[in-house]
Structure 1
Amino acid sequence: MKIEHVELLHVAIPLVTPFRTSFGTMTSKDTFLLHVVTDAAEGWSEFAADPEPLYCSEFVAGAQIVLRDFLIPRVAALPRLTAAGVAPATAKIKGHQLAKATLETAVLDAELRAHGMSLATYLGAVHDRVPAGVSVGIKESVPALLDDVERYLGEGYRRIKLKIEPGWDVEPVRAVRERFGDALPLQVDANTAYSLADAEHLRRLDEFGLLLIEEPLDEDDLYAHARLQERIATPVCLDESIHCARDAAAAIAMGAARVVNVKPARVGGYLEARRIHDVSAAHGVPVWCGGMLETGIGRSPNLALAALPGFALPGDTSASSRYFAEDITEPFVLHDGYLPVPTGPGIGIEPLADALRRFTRARQTLWGE
């Protein structure tokens, strides 16, 4: 297989409601899709980060340059292109895991389409549907939060995740517990908003029986997370700190992570995500699939990953309607709290031509004519 053409499509899709976290508020999904055409098949992928480097160091404009000038030329020069060859070919380029994941996923999609194989089959999925959780952003008031949680539970979501930050943590969690009971699977996500000095405050969350607290401290500070875990009963889950299977193994060995959030984009793609799953499962550590407000192009392969046996907790693989009134693909619809795992070749989905045309802001050829 050889690359013949690579096109980047900058898309912007309005969110149904603003989504606020400790690092900012989003009102649209503003990113790009990568369309890779090979001599065997075509592949699609989605860049998961945002226009500004707030969640992570990567951002849309920077990723476009890295892909055009450094990543794609190395991969296009391979005598025989495979998804497994993307990481070795781009290894000398430091960092840029999300950009690398975008390229590897598009190549993997094309490769699997050429063989008529689904991503779920390729990864080793054991389920044909996965339980869906939902992430609830920071709200202006507790009553507004409770209204949102009630609506999502009414739609069938099987787990609630609350975004928290200093000043919006104990009381919102208490209100949700009092309103919906102890049986509700509930977790919180701090997105690195706290420090180890807040350990005693965070210990107040122990009384609520949470599934986990996600990435409470600074990214990559495994030592501090391990010390925090010694002081609180709520399981610490690492997200931003896990960039590869080696990081997962180190975090588990140090006692810094009792749960791991696997985001394929953040770790360089689905091949490394599967390795993180395998390392965690070997140590008896549960994993779940996080989300980054993906369109259907990113949501579909996440569902395939979440169908692996070690994904013991519902992920952020919500229905399309959680974020978009209209997506650029056929929507993913919740049925009894579950989403179906795509079975078609490759990632199992592709953009709808009319929706793609309306939501595309710019197109750019990165390789080929």
Structure 2
Amino acid sequence: MKISAINAWRMLQPFVAGPYRMSKGRHADSFDSVIVSITSDDGVTGWGEMAPLGTFYSAAFAAGAEAGVAEIAPHLLGQDPRALAQIGRLMDTVFKGHPYVKSALDMACCDLAARSAGMPLVTMLGGRESDTAELYKVVTHGTAASMADHARRIIADGFRRIQVKVGGDVHGDIERVVAVAAAVPVGTVIFCDANAGWTPFQARQFADATRQIDYAFEQPCGTIEECLSVRRIFAKPMVLDESVQSLQDLLEIQRTGAADGVTLKISRLGGVSRTRQLRDLAVDLGLMVTVEDTGGAEIDTAAMAHLSLSTPEERRLHAIAFHEWVTVRTASNAPPVNGSRMGIPDGFGLGIDVLPELLGVPFLDLSASR
């Protein structure tokens, strides 16, 4: 089996609920997605997607992904898409760094490999550990009153897990979290996510003022060392997200005891293959794990669901349904959501039936026969 064709699209995916707001005025109105299809010489097609959250969340940006995919794709023609490790090494050889550029290409190869083997991707990723994963919803940054109202609506919809955005003015965020905690039932799982927005000084201020609230602290500061300095005076669970960019980062987190759990983002790590590698190691090291991405519609959400459901349930934190965030569709089906839980689509590979006519005009149309 050899790769015979690669196509790629760039697709704007506006948010259903309007702007997504984080601290310090950071916000986005949509995902700017890059979608890739890879077709083998025997007619099997796999799909991949990556979508950064604006240009402020990480080093990834859609224009960079578009340019990088076009640079890498010609080198993949004629390669065996099932040889995932070889594909990964080849991409690293011809295009140094920029893992987010490679993410959709790797995802498409994983999808194609599982489809050609006649199995769902979850099986290839280690096996299905449960039928569904529990979802969380985000309380985006705003006034204390608006965030409390938002949290009440989420709970009224049947969700038991919320992520509260903090990381701005410390005293304002203390007020916001106190209001949210008072607005939801006892036992609601609360994550306070600063998105690396604070110095250790600020994070300690927040931690000290909120000791009576039951929550997990997510990525208070920018580096592992800074987060560890906060953790040393902090009795609550800590999860790191932005700090997990490589295998070396994961090992450092475990060696120093910097966190109890990690959030692994597919595009940040360079695709499904490397996310699976870090996921398996994190599980073996005894860490709690969330697998998600920076954004995307049905394709990327399906990959997140397959990785989540092949994570042992006792080590899985939660998942998120990004395809429900956006106003556009990319496929005739989607990862099924029932209340506050998400499963995976029936079928081989990702199980997603992508409709190319929904994607617009491809920016890349590459064939080995041309």
Question: TM-score, normalised on structure 1?
Answer: 0.90
Counterpart position of 2:134? 131
Structure 1 counterpart of 2:288, from 267, 286, 289 = 286
- The superposition leaves residues 302-333 of structure 1 with CA deviations (integer Å, 9 ceiling, x where unpaired) of 01111134453443422743x12443233445
The Cα RMSD (Å) is 2.2
Counterpart position of 1:5? 5
Counterpart position of 1:339? 342
Amino acid at match of 1:351: V
Q: Structure 1 289/37 Cα, relative in aligned 2: closer, same or farther at 3 Å?
A: same
Q: 2: distance between equivalents of 1:77 and 1:3? A: 5
Q: Structure 1 4/77 Cα, relative in aligned 2: closer, same or farther at 3 Å?
A: closer
Give the conservation status (yes or no) of the 8 Å contact 2:14–2:30: yes
Q: Structure 1 3/333 Cα, relative in aligned 2: closer, same or farther at 3 Å?
A: closer
Q: For structure 1, list consecutive stretches of 5 or more residues without a partner in the other structure.
A: none
Give the conservation status (yes or no) of the 8 Å contact 1:97–1:265: yes
Q: Structure 1 281/128 Cα, relative in aligned 2: closer, same or farther at 3 Å?
A: same
Counterpart position of 1:265? 267
Q: Structure 1 138/44 Cα, relative in aligned 2: closer, same or farther at 3 Å?
A: same
Structure 2 counterpart of 1:198, from 202, 218, 233 = 202
Counterpart position of 2:251? 249
Give the conservation status (yes or no) of the 8 Å contact 2:46–2:112: yes
Give the conservation status (yes or no) of the 8 Å contact 2:4–2:78: no
Q: 2: distance between equivalents of 1:90 and 1:32? A: 17
Counterpart position of 2:182? 178
Counterpart position of 1:208? 213
Give the conservation status (yes or no) of the 8 Å contact 2:55–2:61: yes
How far apart are residue 84 of structure 1 and its match? Answer: 2.8
Give the conservation status (yes or no) of the 8 Å contact 1:100–1:269: yes
Is 1:166 the counterpart of 2:168? The answer is yes
Counterpart position of 1:105? 107
**1:7-156 equivalence runs, <5 A:** 7-17=7-17, 18-22=19-23, 24-40=26-42, 41-50=44-53, 53-69=55-71, 71-76=72-77, 78=79, 82-92=83-93, 93-124=95-126, 125-139=128-142, 141-156=143-158
Partner of 1:156: helix, strand, or coil? Answer: coil
Q: Structure 1 76/223 Cα, relative in aligned 2: closer, same or farther at 3 Å?
A: same
How far apart are residue 155 of structure 1 and its match? Answer: 2.0
Counterpart position of 1:237? 239
Partner of 1:169: helix, strand, or coil? Answer: helix
Q: 1: distance between equivalents of 2:36 and 2:156? A: 36
Q: Structure 1 199/150 Cα, relative in aligned 2: closer, same or farther at 3 Å?
A: closer
Counterpart position of 1:302? 304
Give the conservation status (yes or no) of the 8 Å contact 2:52–2:295: no
Question: TM-score, normalised on structure 2?
Answer: 0.89
Q: 2: distance between equivalents of 1:126 and 1:333? A: 17
Give the conservation status (yes or no) of the 8 Å contact 1:238–1:257: yes
Partner of 1:13: helix, strand, or coil? Answer: strand
- The superposition leaves residues 322-368 of structure 1 with CA deviations (integer Å, 9 ceiling, x where unpaired) of x12443233445324211223311111032355x15xx3x4212532
Q: Structure 1 153/326 Cα, relative in aligned 2: closer, same or farther at 3 Å?
A: farther
Q: Structure 1 327/213 Cα, relative in aligned 2: closer, same or farther at 3 Å?
A: farther
Q: 1: distance between equivalents of 2:78 and 2:4? A: 11
Structure 1 stretches of 4+ moved >6 Å: none
Give the conservation status (yes or no) of the 8 Å contact 2:15–2:327: yes
Partner of 2:362: helix, strand, or coil? Answer: strand
Amino acid at match of 1:180: V
How far apart are residue 246 of structure 1 and its match? Answer: 2.9
Q: How many residues align?
A: 358
Q: 2: distance between equivalents of 1:366 and 1:58? A: 23
Q: Which moved more, 1:297-306 or 1:57-66?
A: 57-66
Q: For structure 2, list consecutive stretches of 5 or more residues without a partner in the other structure.
A: none
How far apart are residue 242 of structure 1 and its match? Answer: 0.9
Q: 2: distance between equivalents of 1:266 and 1:343? A: 27
- The superposition leaves residues 191-233 of structure 1 with CA deviations (integer Å, 9 ceiling, x where unpaired) of 11101122431322332111x2222111xx2222211110222
